[in-house]
């Protein structure tokens, strides 16, 4: 629950830290997020690897999908 963040305070996009995955693996994960859960997710290159960026347009869907599984101390990550 702790390996992700938001893009910026001005944007509702969310990041999932997948820096130790290959581009092929991250691309597959993004496809699965779209096909199975309807989330707009794209691979995003960083200096230290590749992360998954979930577009702001998918934030409300993401929040609805995962909020029942988030422990109380991590709920602030969904604001």
pLDDT of residue 77 exceeding 80, the answer is no
Question: Which of 27, 58, 77 lies closest to 69, judged by CA?
Answer: 77
CATH fold for the domain made of 4-78: Endonuclease I-creI (3.10.28)
Cα 76 from Cα 41, distance rounded (Å): 21
Q: Which residues pair with 8 in a beta bridge?
A: 11
pTM: 0.79
- Assign 21 to helix, strand or coil: coil
Q: pLDDT, tens digit, for every residue of 41-65?
A: 999 998 999 999 999 999 899 999 9
Domain definitions of the chain by residue range: 4-78
Q: pLDDT, tens digit, for every residue of 16-28?
A: 899 999 999 999 9
């Amino acid at each position: 629950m702790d390996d992700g963040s938001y893009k910026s305070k001005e944007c509702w996009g969310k990041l999932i830290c997948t820096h130790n995955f290959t581009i092929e693996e991250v691309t597959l994960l993004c496809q699965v997020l779209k096909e199975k859960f309807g989330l707009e997710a794209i691979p995003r290159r960083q200096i230290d690897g590749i992360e998954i960026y979930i577009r702001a347009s998918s934030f409300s869907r993401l929040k609805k999908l995962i909020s029942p599984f988030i422990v109380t101390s991590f709920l602030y990550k969904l604001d």
